[in-house]
Structure 1
Amino acid sequence: MKSQSPQNMMLGDVEIIRVVEWQGAFAPARDLVPESGTALWKDNEDWLAPDHWDPDSDGAVMALQTWALRSGGRTVLVDTGVGNGRERPGSPQFHHWQGDFLGCLARAGIHPEDVDVVVNTHLHADHVGWNTVGVEGEWVPTFPHAQYLIPAADDAYFGPDNAHDTGRHEDDRRVYEDSVAPVHRSGQSVLWDGFHRIDDHLTLDPAPGHTPGSCVLRLESEGDRAVFVGDVLHSPVQILAPTCNSCFCRDARAAASTRRRILERAAAERELIVPAHFGGAGFAEVRREGDGFTCHIREGRPVP
């Protein structure tokens, strides 16, 4: 499935616009979540299929999507997808990607010059790509008036003065050089650590494990709460089995600990889970059940 029309909802005074660039079967389910086991998927087939799992192909269904928020008179983007025309030989599905991200934003009524804040929940290729566009052979910021919020720990890990475990991987270097470094050079980046408040309704909290600087964005307005979880969750099966990491998590123990902490707070405070990659309706309600959690996928309340 290719690009879709935007979906809108309101939480308190904040408008949320879901912009889906692509959705479909991404990888075999147990390749994406290696420790999940066949039974976890089969036992929940009645609600995982077809939006989150294709039983016939055993493909985990995922989306590339950005969340656009209108909060306090400003437009905030949460993650920016893959970006077009990038060299990603280590990620064949993203290599020379051509998508209609800017067209999707335009259909949501958002143009590059309208964006005030860009949040990168972490610095993986499918979350920073549209930070920049190619102009006359150079990568320049896509959003000329935006402040780009980048987790300092990820910038240190993936950047040229890296704290990477075995030195910078070639694809990581490419991602940083075409999608992150130009934002630094333009003076539009803000590195943050520990906690960051965007406005009265939106804050950023660390959520390390998937990457060292992975973060979540929390929304609280008029009694409504949500948490935009980035890649803390790739599939709703990880809500049922929080110890199961995706194949992309850098620190397995920290990722599992962070995931459980995020889910416990979401259940206790009735925070709506807003994921980066779930297919289908795109939102999840989490409730405690014994020592674990239950998951209900639902559509958001539409904008009046």
Structure 2
Amino acid sequence: MTLSRDGFLSTHINALADEALRDYCPGHAALVEQINRFAIALLIVPRDIQQRDADLFAVTLLGRAVQDFEGAVLLGARGLRAQSRAMVRSTFETALYCVAASRDMVLSQGAKIKPKKGESPTTRFVDAFDGGHQRFRGQVAAELRDMPEVPAETEAALDALLDEIGTPGKHQDIDLHGLAEDLGLSNLYTVVYRSLSQDAHPSATSLQHHVEVSAKGKITGLHIGPDYLQYADTLALAACSLLVALDGFVGRFGTPEEQEALPALVKAYRKLHEPLGVQPDSPIATAV
């Protein structure tokens, strides 16, 4: 199916998505549906969070992870290849945060400012998460200091912004790769998050998705329309990412029935990869 001059805003896009989910990789689509239903069922059940900050973060982060996951699926089914894979990357990042909050972790490698040699880690994940974005804070503060004289009204607004984001140098931040190490998921970080980084930005690699190339390797035109290369891989990585979040969440909040049900989804995910040649001991097959 091709799209009209409206491109991906065409009224035909939903029919295209239905066709993709039904025909292109039905096994992946079925697994995505099962995982999504399980996740939604978790979210609608009240949890005994006792107003702990870590628990509040964990529940909210699972909600965000589910929506990131659904966004990746919706984009992928509509042939938005790079955009769907960028959304999978976001799903994985949110999943790591959800696990860390569920465990109320004290960060070692996951903190930007590492403990000194011989010192025990003291930075809780929720504190680093809540007070993060140190680089942004420092950049804004520097720009405010270097800004030429402005009207009093503008100066007051800028001062209010600086008050809102906090003083540079007094907040911890999160090192995502280090956080993956703390969680024992550094291999999966490389396989999922790093492999998708090219699609999260307009890199030279991701731009190859948008050109037509001849058998001789010459660019012959632009590719403007749905792209389903790597579609099954995208759904698999999305499923893997959400399973990471679900594993952490169910380990903290899950009922015995939920804890018993999750391994069946993990088993289905691993089985799905057997025909694709993924080895049983590969990071993507064993990390969840």
Higher relative contact order (CA 8 A, sep 6+): 2
Structure-1-length-normalised TM-score: 0.24
Return the index of the structure with the highest Cα Rg.
2
